[in-house]
Amino acid sequence: MQVSSAADILRVIKEQLAEQLSRPKYELLIRPLTAIDYTTNDSDDTRLRLGISNEVLRGWLIDQYGDLLSELAQLIVGGEVAVEIEVSAAAAAQLADTTERGGETRPLEVVPPREPAVIKKPLLNPRYTFDNFVVGKANQFANSACWQVAQRPGASYNPLFLYGGVGLGKTHLMHAIGHNAWERDHNLQVAYVSSEKFTNEFIECVRTGRMPEFHQRYRGVDILLIDDIQFLSGKPETQQEFFHTFMHLLESGKQIVIAGDRPPRTLKGMEERMVTRFSMGLVCDLAEPGLETRVAILRQKALLEQAQLPEDVLSFIAERVRGNVRELEGALIRLLAFCDFSQAAPSLEVASRVLADFVDAGGIRPRLSIKQVLGVVSEYFNVSEPLLLSPNRSKRVALARMVAMYLAREYTNLTLSQIGAELGGRDHSTISHGVNKIARDILEDPYVEQAVTQISRLLK
């Protein structure tokens, strides 16, 4: 790639990191970055200067993403480059009374990686490794399938198809495969691409008559990790191209890993032959992690952030933020950022204040009472409320009950345990099971999908 300005490089860095990092991290640390300049002299003194508004953010950025920024910049410019992060004068001027910081800029060199940029290291998020992936019931099957694929690419499950809702670790596991396989064999060509990017590149190469280049890029790899396959739906030309790439790789014994938001056969607008092929290897799903796993994930993320959080705070977050892992991570980052700025210790009290705010700011779901949810569910399925709470296991009652669990989780503020208590004294794992089952059935069973949609409409 031909790059000439700091702004160009920064733009590509932001594009990459927008895909790789969780939103809160991206918003907090990457989006505010400004380009100062990019100088390249004949002597191998190439540097990229980026600016950020204050010292705290600068410290965080360097600690957490210094290496990654260097690495990315290096890949983008195709050679050694020192990345410097400065508190930028423009942003600092906005801080009214910080005269000592004033307009002064304080460059700090981020040590560039020792290896030369020529090695074809795949562009992967360094944090998305197997080591950093917390295994629980909801993901252990997917995790071990990915691990095996990384040990013997092309020789175990091919293709490997991962599916699950947003933020449950599909992208993480794909990158982990890439890292792990490449660490053992630096000659392996690993390509990670979202199907959206694949589509754009394809269109661009068709338009500019560079199809041979496109073929070479994707047909020459040893491991192709293709993410968010659902974006290919309704795009027959790209699907056809992808299918040829796919078959080419498969026939040459190369590994393909695909991730999508639902199982192959329920993908819409997808060519039949593709769906058939997708299902021929191994298909495994990622479900929402249970409470214990969520606590373990938080513990591990806190460790990565080098933050010490008391156990009660970890449990509080895990109970309170019940969505996917990305939301969980967002809540943690939010709390840590708050504590960092306000110099407060992350106590239970601080956490509840910050997270109340987190939920409000997200404004994700209207909050209803469990009574309201039960009322509407009972009416829709024509199952009385006492029957919903009873141990009765007839098919219709059990379905209505699980839908109630699912919607209670969506629309109330209650934790899984609290929902369980309200639903006839069931424990949180029963509720978690019901919620996950409905989440899956929505994708696979039109009847359930319709029920949930219609009841949701009534609840709003």
* Residues contributing to the site for ligand ADP (CB under 6 A): 22, 128, 132-134, 139, 164, 166-172, 297, 325-326, 329
User: CB nearest ligand ADP: which residue?
Assistant: 169
182's contact among Mg ion, ligand ADP, none, with CB below 5 to 8 A by partner kind, is none
83's contact among Mg ion, ligand ADP, none, with CB below 5 to 8 A by partner kind, is none
Report the nearest approach of ligand ADP to the CB of residue 301 (Å).
Answer: 7
Token reading at 282: 């191994």
Judged by CB, which is closer to ligand ADP: 88, or 293?
Answer: 293
Report the nearest approach of ligand ADP to the CB of residue 152 (Å).
Answer: 23
Q: Does 22 bind Mg ion (CB under 5 A)?
A: no
264's contact among Mg ion, ligand ADP, none, with CB below 5 to 8 A by partner kind, is none
Report the nearest approach of ligand ADP to the CB of residue 168 (Å).
Answer: 4
Report the nearest approach of ligand ADP to the CB of residue 40 (Å).
Answer: 34
Q: Does 171 bind Mg ion (CB under 5 A)?
A: yes
166's contact among Mg ion, ligand ADP, none, with CB below 5 to 8 A by partner kind, is ligand ADP
Sites for Mg ion among residues 413-432 (CB under 5 A): none
Judged by CB, which is closer to ligand ADP: 87, or 302?
Answer: 302
133's contact among Mg ion, ligand ADP, none, with CB below 5 to 8 A by partner kind, is ligand ADP
| Euclidean distance between CA atoms 103 and 213, whole angstroms | 47
Judged by CB, which is closer to ligand ADP: 16, or 378?
Answer: 16
Report the nearest approach of Mg ion to the CB of residue 168 (Å).
Answer: 9
22's contact among Mg ion, ligand ADP, none, with CB below 5 to 8 A by partner kind, is ligand ADP
Judged by CB, which is closer to ligand ADP: 74, or 129?
Answer: 129
Q: Does 195 bind Mg ion (CB under 5 A)?
A: no
- Distances in Å between the Cα of 16 and the Cα atoms of 11, 12, 224, 405 are 9, 6, 18, 38
Report the nearest approach of Mg ion to the CB of residue 136 (Å).
Answer: 18
Which residues lie closer than 8 Å to 134 by C-beta, 6 or more apart?
289, 293, 296, 297, 300
Give the helix ranges, DSSP H, for 78-163.
89-93, 140-151
Q: Are strands 34-40 and 46-52 parallel, antiparallel or unpaired?
A: antiparallel
439's contact among Mg ion, ligand ADP, none, with CB below 5 to 8 A by partner kind, is none
Residue 68 buriedness (CB in 10 A; 0-12 / 13-18 / 19+) = buried
| Euclidean distance between CA atoms 159 and 179, whole angstroms | 18
Report the nearest approach of ligand ADP to the CB of residue 172 (Å).
Answer: 3
Give the helix ranges, DSSP H, for 102-190.
140-151, 170-184
Distance of alpha carbon 221 from the chain centroid = 24
Is residue 163 within 8 A of residue 170, CB to CB? The reply is yes
- Distances in Å between the Cα of 33 and the Cα atoms of 65, 90, 95, 387, 397 are 12, 12, 17, 57, 54
Report the nearest approach of ligand ADP to the CB of residue 240 (Å).
Answer: 26
- Distances in Å between the Cα of 158 and the Cα atoms of 216, 253, 381 are 21, 9, 42
356's contact among ligand ADP, Mg ion, none, with CB below 5 to 8 A by partner kind, is none
Judged by CB, which is closer to ligand ADP: 134, or 423?
Answer: 134
Judged by CB, which is closer to ligand ADP: 303, or 458?
Answer: 303
294's contact among ligand ADP, Mg ion, none, with CB below 5 to 8 A by partner kind, is none
Token reading at 181: 């396989």
Binding region for Mg ion (CB under 5 A) out of 57-65, 166-174, 200-208, 321-329: 166-174
Judged by CB, which is closer to ligand ADP: 81, or 332?
Answer: 332
| Euclidean distance between CA atoms 425 and 124, whole angstroms | 45
- Distances in Å between the Cα of 359 and the Cα atoms of 191, 253, 258, 302, 313 are 37, 47, 32, 20, 16
Token reading at 88: 């930028």
Number of residues that bind Mg ion (CB under 5 A): 2
Amino acid of residue 278: F
| Euclidean distance between CA atoms 221 and 138, whole angstroms | 31
DSSP three-state, residue 183:
helix
Judged by CB, which is closer to Mg ion: 153, or 167?
Answer: 167
Binding region for Mg ion (CB under 5 A): 170-171
